Amino acid sequence: LPGIYVHIPFCRQACHYCDFHFSVSHGFRNRLIPALASELSSRKSELGNSEIQTLYFGGGTPTLLSDSEWNILLNAINSNYSLADSLEFTVEANPDDLSSQNLRLLNSLGVNRLSVGVQSFRDEDLSYMNRAHNARQAITCIPLAQDMGFSNISIDLIYGTPGLSDHLWEKNLSTAFSMNIQHVSSYALTVENNTPLQHLIRKGLAAGPDDETQSAQFMILQTASVNAGFEPYEISNYALPGYRSAHNSSYWEGKAYLGIGPSAHSFDGKNTRSWNIANNARYVQGIESGSRLSESEILSPSEQISEYILIRLRTIEGLNLTTFDNIFGSPATEQLNQKQKFMPTEWFIPGNKEIRLSNTGKLFADHIASELFPDSI
Ligand code: SF4
């Protein structure tokens, strides 16, 4: 069953490492929300009549939305789509927005999963990242959300920040795992192109991350999550049994999804991907004039194989060779097996039914995947 992603492209302030599409100027906001509603209604035929299994509001910062903005968007969803009874409805939330009033609102809208952008429980890391919240807000927002009835909470944590020693990372993790949460998404700090962080590092005004610390902290994360009873079900995602993100899992399973809003990506569940323009003003103008500005690409057979390898290697189940053979045929499977034979065995968990990465292998997942890509690319 398909999912819908809605991108809310506004933030209170720019986190220095972030390369998502967002704007801190809210100039187009009163035209953008109706434009999102209009895109939602005009694209309903793309998902056929299928029930929607997952609804995900990301960004940007969806917790900036007001009552009336939520109403406009949810009306557009309810009047154009049929939602499954078991709908997973996730909203990305920043700690500084989680007042009891806002939590009550989210609850009343039917949101049943919060993905909270905690990133760290330390003020030093939060100010390095230029997050809009402080450590106290990061710590208090989770029990407050739980008091307001949320029982499926994910938190995001970033490791490898300069100044975050292994010991302090362990402390961040033990704080997180002591909070009765159900899911953690955790990423190494990455210096993306054209971000304020890259600029600051280049000018010598900020320290950068180092690979060795990040690898060590990734290993600490593996141990701490398993000790807390969390399944490392994807390289960056950890869940208590029964609490994997259905929305993210559907991306990894190649299901169809509709991405609404500036910069949002869509996939037809077969071979076509499209993405909206990453510019609020031009997005609004396009929608208002009846021609959405987007681009699309059709994945070639070898691109489909490469993408499948890249995604499956990141999962705990790994790449099942029988399934791979059924989808892509035996010449592709034969080629894959041959390539794997010449790679270091410590990158893999032994077994000949699937290709699964060991913890050491996970450190080089992208490299390993690219070595396994079919030759014709
Ligand atoms: S709040 Fe999220 S989307 Fe906005 S700048 Fe920070 S990391 Fe990026």
Could you read off the pLDDT of 41-96 as tens digits, one per residue? 999 999 888 899 999 999 999 999 999 999 999 999 999 999 999 999 999 999 99
Q: Which atom of ligand 1 is the closest one to the Cα of 94?
A: 1
What pLDDT, in 10s, does the model give residues 199-238?
A: 999 999 999 999 999 999 999 999 999 999 999 999 999 9
DSSP state of 356: E
Please report which confidence band the pLDDT of residue 266 belongs to, taking 50, 70 and 90 as the band edges: very high
Instruction: Give pLDDT, residue 376.
Output: 66
Q: How far is the CA of 157 from the centre of ligand 1 (A)?
A: 13
Ligand 1 midpoint to CA 287 (Å): 24
Q: What is the pLDDT of residue 250?
A: 86
Locate the ligand 1 atom nearest the alpha carbon of residue 18 and give its number: 8
Categorize the per-residue pLDDT at 138 as very low, low, confident or very high, splitting at 50, 70 and 90.
Answer: very high
Q: Per residue in 81-112, pLDDT tens?
A: 999 999 999 999 999 999 999 999 999 999 99
Binding site membership of 189 for ligand 1 (Cβ less than 6 Å): no
Q: Is 187 in the pocket of ligand 1 (CB under 6 A)?
A: no
pLDDT value of residue 48: 86
Average pLDDT taken over every residue of the chain: 96
pLDDT in tens, 270-308: 999 999 999 999 999 999 999 999 999 999 999 999 999
Task: State the distance from the centre of ligand 1 to the C-alpha of 142, rounded, in angstroms.
Answer: 19
Predicted confidence (pLDDT) at residue 377 exceeds the cutoff of 60: no
**DSSP string across 7-71:** EE-B-SS--TT--SS-BS--TTHHHHHHHHHHHHHHTGGGGTTPPEEEEEEEES-GGG--HHHHH
The pLDDT of residue 31? 97
When pLDDT is averaged across residues 130-149 and rounded to a whole number, the result is 97
Q: What is the pLDDT averaged over residues 192-197? A: 96
Whether residue 195 has pLDDT greater than 90: yes
Check whether 363 has a pLDDT greater than 80.
Answer: yes
Range list of H helices, the chain: 29-42, 67-80, 100-108, 123-129, 135-147, 166-177, 196-202, 211-227, 246-252, 280-288, 301-313, 321-328, 330-341, 359-363, 365-372
Ligand 1 pocket mutation, candidates 7, 57, 61, 192, criterion most atoms within 8 A of CB: 61
Instruction: Give the CA count within 13 Å in the CB-facing half-sphere of 195.
Output: 21
Atom from ligand 1 closest to the CA of residue 17: 7
Q: pLDDT value at position 302? A: 94
Tell the residue nearest (CA) to atom 8 of ligand 1. Answer: 18
Q: What is the DSSP string of 63-88?
A: GG--HHHHHHHHHHHHHH--EEEEEE
- The answer, yes or no, to whether residue 244 has pLDDT greater than 50, is yes
Alpha-carbon span 283 to 344, nearest angstrom: 47
Percent residues over pLDDT 90 in the chain: 94
60 lines ligand 1 (CB under 6 A): yes
CA distances from 312 to 245, 303, 324 (A): 16, 14, 10
**Ligand 1 in contact with 6 (CB < 6 A)?**
no
pTM for the whole structure: 0.95
Distance between CA atoms of residues 28 and 16, nearest Å? 23
Tell me what the mean pLDDT of segment 319-327 comes to.
96
Q: Report how far residue 244's alpha carbon sits from residue 31's, in angstroms, rounded to the nearest whole number.
A: 35
Ligand 1 binding pocket includes 11 (Cβ within 6 Å): yes
Distance CA 373, CA 101 (A): 50
Cis ω for the linkage preceding 60 (within 30 of 0): yes
Q: Judge contact between 32 and 9, C-beta under 8 A.
A: yes
